[in-house]
Structure 1
Amino acid sequence: MAYKTILVHCDASKNVAHRLGVAAELAQQQGAHLVGFHARPPFQTPVFFDGGFPMDDFFKSYEASVKADLSVALAAFEKATKGRHLSTEWRVVDGFVENDLPVQARYADLLVLGQTDPESTLPTPTDLPEAVAIASGRPVLVVPHIGVTAAPGKTVLLCWNASRESARAATDALPLLKAAAKVIVLAIDAKSSPAGHGAEPGADAATWLARHGVKVTVQRDVAADTDVGATILSRAADHAVDLIVMGLYGHSRMREMVLGGASRTLLGSMTVPVFMAH
């Protein structure tokens, strides 16, 4: 099992090279076809328009902006893939990224997106990674906006709570887990139950992974009075983890993402890539 098509979101952000570098490296490792995706948002009449200025001026400004953004995104994609032995494709659509990216994602094995940058001035929705993961049904690898020092996947932290979401994330991440030098199954505040954890929380998941050839260990922890997401980040730092795998807990309500606490914490404070699936 390997990823054969990887889709990476390419915009004009100053941090786009970070996610492109990770996507290109993973595509090379997996022997995957790499698709660079760019969305050109449609022209929208300014809400403050009162007819005092020619509409042509607004449209010319819009055209210049989308053309410049496309040029920056394409240049970044070409730079990231230059000199690599990769099968690549550049794909551009006219539409809103939050609408078109989930559709394109259904024909890929893995998406690579960037973490929301609070300093960005681009119109990219701040909840794009989680919205795409929930709407597309495909796993998403989110790369920190601060970048990474090496390709992720050597030491992996798998967040396990015996839920459907965590099982889905673990299954979708199998190509990465099998290639890792070490995988730590982390069970936090785990309790045995007929519908969840077994007698030894995390042990059943570790046994299943070991049958796939994954080099796996189990760690059980207690969040106590701290947020579960903060505990996950702390353990990731303790073990020098370079990739966190987790199920995404949440849903979309009236175009507003309603996330679980751990998901929200990790997506906001991540320092290493986060692989998530819903």
Structure 2
Amino acid sequence: MYDILVNTINFENWPRAARYGTQLASLLQASVTGAYVYPSPLYATPSFSSPELIEAVLETCRTLEAGALAAERPFVSWASGMGIEHAAWVVGQGNLAAALVQIACWHDLLVLERNPEHAWASPSDLAELILAVGLPCIVVPPQPVQAVSLSHVAVAWNGSSEAIRAVHAALPVLQRAHEVLLLRGAPKETFQEVTWKPPFDIDAYLKRHGIRARSQDLLTNEHGVGEALLEQADRFHADLLVMGAYGRSRFSEWALGGATRHVLWNARLPVLFRH
């Protein structure tokens, strides 16, 4: 993780995602980019608007743009004060997901926040972003994270491709952790044409990368996995939970619930999701 992208929902003060992502970049000796995206005035203007209303909307967008662009120096200076050698600030106009998909191409990790005060930062919108950007995403909870630490990291493990990708994406974090806990759920049922014999050995993989993890079984049924993950992560005093996202189809995940949805809606700690 050399380049961390942080989505900021405002630029007048640095929100939780910006603070967490910048502190994480400092811990990992990574670069950080703050990204502020605001909607196009075309979407903010009602149909059949008067010329006066259209001009008022355009002026509001011009003011917003000017303020966002002026935030570059304060952001870079603030990040530099936290030990970040390379910090950048970008401003985009348009659809948030489309903008982040583009800028994600030259980053390794995206930091978002779940914020009930902003409609577009709801869990459903965050889920769409996680699916769209193609990057590992850390979602910061509404509760303040007092100090960013990677001392205790919990990993949700069920042997799925999503879980494997999540562990691979989180390797730099896991290698810095003092303790890693594998929370083992029931192995995922596979319907693929290829069956590996023996199956993927997560313990051997982690040891090969210098990580020694202890394991704990999740004794729960499928519908209680999300709740059990958060409960055990809390008991472990985890600083971060790592998990694969959307192991089933999108339709069944949202129609039936699922561990991903429960954790995304209810987590009180930062969670690294990888689809």
Q: Aligning the two structures, in what range does the TM-score lie when normalised by the shorter sequence? A: 0.7 to 0.9
1:166 aligns with 2:163: yes
Per the alignment, residue 258 of structure 2 pairs with 261
Structure number with the higher helix fraction is 2
Per the alignment, residue 38 of structure 1 pairs with 36
Aligned in 2, Cα 1:263/1:57: closer, same or farther, shift over 3 Å? same
Aligned in 2, Cα 1:226/1:128: closer, same or farther, shift over 3 Å? closer
Aligned in 2, Cα 1:16/1:198: closer, same or farther, shift over 3 Å? farther
1: CA distance between counterparts of 2:236 and 2:59? Answer: 52
Q: Report the CA distance between 1:230 and its aligned residue.
A: 0.5
Q: Report the CA distance between 1:258 and its aligned residue.
A: 7.2
Per the alignment, residue 247 of structure 1 pairs with 244
Q: TM-score, normalised by structure 2?
A: 0.83
Moved more, 74-83 or 131-140: 74-83
1:77 aligns with 2:68: no
1: CA distance between counterparts of 2:63 and 2:141? Answer: 29
Q: TM-score, normalised by structure 1?
A: 0.82
Picking from 219, 225, 233, the partner of 2:216 is 219
Equivalent residues of 2:37, 2:94 under 8 A apart: yes
1:177 aligns with 2:160: no
1:228 aligns with 2:225: yes
Which letter maps to 2:156? Answer: C
Equivalent residues of 2:25, 2:32 under 8 A apart: yes
Structure 2, gaps ≥5 residues long: none
Aligned in 2, Cα 1:152/1:262: closer, same or farther, shift over 3 Å? farther
Moved more, 38-47 or 124-133: 124-133
Per the alignment, residue 141 of structure 1 pairs with 138
**1:129 aligned counterpart, secondary structure:** helix
Per the alignment, residue 103 of structure 1 pairs with 102
Equivalent residues of 2:69, 2:91 under 8 A apart: no
1: CA distance between counterparts of 2:162 and 2:269? Answer: 20
- Render the CA deviation track for 1:161-198: whole Å, top value 9, x for unaligned: 10100000000000001110111111123489994897
Structure 1, gaps ≥5 residues long: none
2: CA distance between counterparts of 1:197 and 1:274? Answer: 31
Moved more, 218-227 or 138-147: 218-227
Per the alignment, residue 91 of structure 2 pairs with 92
Which letter maps to 1:81? Answer: A
- Identity value in percent: 28
Equivalent residues of 2:240, 2:271 under 8 A apart: yes
Equivalent residues of 1:190, 1:220 under 8 A apart: no
1: CA distance between counterparts of 2:12 and 2:267? Answer: 18
Aligned in 2, Cα 1:124/1:271: closer, same or farther, shift over 3 Å? closer
**1:106 aligned counterpart, secondary structure:** helix
2: CA distance between counterparts of 1:75 and 1:233? Answer: 39
